[in-house]
Amino acid sequence: MLIDNEFIEAVRRDMLKFAQLQLRDAALAEDAVQDALTAALTSERSFAGRSAFKTWVFGILRNKIVDLIRQNSRTTNISSLSDDEQAMDESFDALFNNSDHWQSNNRPQNWGNPEESLREQRFWEVFEICLNHLPENTARVFMMREFLEFETAEVCSELAISVSNCNVILHRARNGLRRCLEGSWFAPGERRC
């Protein structure tokens, strides 16, 4: 079949990137990817093509990631606020004036046609850097919601946090990403080099 070593290597790289973003642990990510690939390659199933294979092996990987997050959530307290998260909240609050309206120089800007960026490789590099900058627990909740596509209620119950806490964390993550992208990609006011 058309699954050769070169193809497997490419899939493996994409899987590793995906796993590492979410697990933030190189060894864990490596193991999860290896397990998923082994399961896929030793299965008796046949695939209609490379796409079908990749989709399937990513499905296995997602389940592995979810299992690891579950195990991990028993030993970490997701709802406790790290210094980084505290700092993010403070810098968010600083965007507003006393009556909780935007300070004029902090008002969210018009990004034009941001969808065009989705075709640019450089954009994705910036996007990944911004994701990696999110504090660990904030990132975990966000990625469960957006990449593993859990419903918010499921994220909360998997991680044993309340819905309102979940909402707060997702809001923090989105705002962090929004500002990171605005500062580094969409409207880098001071960047001139």
Partner 1 sequence: MLSCKESTHLLSEALDRPLGTGERIKLEMHLLICNGCRNYRYQMDFLRAACKNFTSRNEAGDDESGKKPTE
Residues engaged in binding partner 1 (CB under 8 A): 6-7, 10-11, 14, 17-18, 49-55, 58, 96, 99-102, 107-111, 114-115, 118, 124, 127, 145-147, 151-152, 167, 170-171, 174-175, 177-178, 182
Q: d(Cα 26, Cα 37) in Å, to the nearest integer?
A: 16
Shortest distance in whole angstroms from residue 123 CB to partner 1: 8
Shortest distance in whole angstroms from residue 58 CB to partner 1: 4
Reading phi first (left if > 0) and then psi (alpha if -120 to 50, else beta), residue 35 is in alpha
Distance between start and end Cα atoms, the chain: 49
**CB neighbour list of residue 76: distance below 8 Å, 6 or more residues apart:** 137
- With respect to partner 1, which residue has the nearer C-beta, 5 or 75? 5
Shortest distance in whole angstroms from residue 75 CB to partner 1: 26
Q: Which two tokens stand for residue 118?
A: 């989705």
- With respect to partner 1, which residue has the nearer C-beta, 74 or 119? 119
- With respect to partner 1, which residue has the nearer C-beta, 31 or 89? 89
Alpha carbon 160 to its chain's center:
19
> Cβ distance 111 to 182 under 8 Å?
yes
- With respect to partner 1, which residue has the nearer C-beta, 100 or 190? 100
Cα distances (angstroms) measured from residue 151 to each of 45, 76, 101, 137, 169:
30, 21, 30, 17, 14
- With respect to partner 1, which residue has the nearer C-beta, 38 or 114? 114
